[in-house]
Amino acid sequence: MTQVLKAGRERAPGQLGRRSTAGSKPRLSPNWLPYLLVIPILAFEGVFVLYPIVKGILTSFKSQALGAQNSYTFSNYSRMVDDPVFWQVIRVTLIFTAGVVVLMLVVGLIIALLLNWSFRGRGFVRGILSIPWALPDIPVVLTFLLMADPNFGIFNRMASWLGFGHHNAFFTSPHLAFASIIVLTVWKGFPFYALITLSALQAVPDELLEAARVDGAGAIRRFRSVVLPSITPTLCLLAVLAFIFSLQQFSLIYLTTGGGPGNDTTTLSINIYTQAFQFFNYSYASAIAVVGLFLSIIGTVLFVYIERRVVASRR
């Protein structure tokens, strides 16, 4: 992205641009090529992504009632603001997102610190630890539903070992369902965060660490004063990505809890889906989706902003 942001202002050498080939072979280096190549992509994304976004925004301003479908109204938005379920959904989304962001970063950092050490078989360990991330969602859901079964699941056996009783219904009981989807999401996603944190750790200059060691800094002091400051930009970037991925999360939640019990695990994505496909409130679902679009725009802007800092810090 930074390269893109810079490109508007200065031209990097080797770029096939107006200047680099000016006067050399005008017939063979047409200036219109970029504008030609961008057409198929814009057409493609325009038809299948941008047009539906615009259509959805328009739908959100239309009434669901028969006969009133050609006039525009704010009724969906006023309904949304008055709907306690909507505010619960926002709360669930924010708590889920915050929980996932924090846990992902902490788990990812711990595993990255463990792996930031050259030992035989490191590539192998890194590879097998990535398996949860590489698995498709649906088999993961099947397995966790099996493991969490209140009657014969392995999780209940472990819970009774630890003295939490058995017959816990992890995905359907009010207290456990929310924690369960967070654990499931973190288990499924941690390898990505661990791998990226690891690559940030490996970019910390050895000279700095050695200098700190010579100055008598212990392991904890070295981590706090040298390692942590140099990986903070990457951790910020990962936090934004975790925020975006949590907003995108659908199948892990929908196929385990379905948003329940009550609306305890209904995030924005789940809410849109159930409003549209269980209650057939298309225009109300579209209004909720507009809120989600705003959140994802905020996420994208934060990503661009922080990524520029990460790249700058690497120079």
Partner 1 sequence: MAVLTESAPAAAAAPTPRRRRSYRRRAGNVVRALVIAAVCVVALFPVYWMVLSAFQPEGKTLSFPPPIIPRGFNSSALSQLFADQPIASWLGHSVFVAIITVAITLILASFGAYLLGRLDWHGKLAFGLLLLFTQMMPGAMIIVPELQFYRSMGWTNNLPMLAVLYAAFNVPLGSWILKSSFDSVPNEVLDAGLVDGCTRMGVLRRILLPLSRSGLVAVAVVAFFGSWNDYLFASALITNRSNYTAGLGIATFISQQDVPIFELQAAGVIFSLLPVIFYMAVQRYVVRGLTAGAVKG
* Number of residues counted as binding partner 1 (CB under 8 A): 116
**Closer CB to partner 1, residue 157 or residue 175?**
157
Q: How far is the CB of 303 from partner 1 (least distance, A)?
A: 7
Footprint of partner 1 on 55-74 (CB under 8 A): 55-56, 59
Alpha-carbon gap, residue 120 to 260, rounded angstroms = 46
When asked if residue 278 is in the footprint of partner 1 (CB under 8 A), the reply is: no
How many whole angstroms from its chain centre is CA 263? 22
Using the minimum distance from each CB to partner 1, give the nearer residue, 155 or 178.
155
Beta bridge partners of 72: 62
φ, ψ at 173 (rounded to 5°):
-95, 145
- Could you say whether residue 241 binds partner 1 (CB under 8 A)? yes
CA distance 241 to 142: 26
| Minimum separation from the CB atom of position 207 to partner 1 (A) | 19
How many other C-beta atoms can be found within 10 angstroms of the C-beta atom of residue 157? 11
Query: 121, exposed or middle or buried, with CB in 10 Å at 0-12, 13-18, 19+?
Result: exposed
Nearer to partner 1, 85 or 114 (CB): 114
In terms of Cα–Cα distance, which of 269, 235, 264, 238 is closest to 252? 269
* Only segment of 32-40, 98-106, 174-182, 221-229 that touches partner 1 (CB under 8 A): 32-40
Residues 6+ apart with CB under 8 A from 189: 100, 104, 132, 133, 242, 245
Does 214 participate in binding partner 1 (rule CB under 8 A)? no
281: alpha, beta or left, given left = phi > 0 and alpha = psi -120 to 50?
Answer: beta
Q: Is residue 225 near partner 1 by the rule CB under 8 A?
A: no
Q: Is the dihedral of CA 8, 14, 19, 22 positive or negative?
A: negative
173, 187, 217, 261: residue in contact with partner 1 (rule CB under 8 A): 187
Q: Which of residues 245-264 bind partner 1 (CB under 8 A)?
A: 247-248, 250-251, 254-255
Rounded to 5 degrees, what are φ and ψ at 116? Answer: -80, 75
Kindly state whether residue 201 participates in binding partner 1, applying the rule CB under 8 A.
no
Binding region for partner 1 (CB under 8 A) out of 72-80, 98-106, 220-228, 240-248: 240-248
- Binding test (CB under 8 A) with partner 1, winner from 35, 163, 207, 315: 35
Question: At its nearest, how many Å lie between partner 1 and the CB of residue 224?
Answer: 19
> Among residues 85, 203, 211, 228, which is the contact residue for partner 1, using CB under 8 A?
203
Choose the binding region for partner 1 from 75-83, 84-92, 111-119, 171-179 (rule: CB under 8 A).
Answer: 111-119
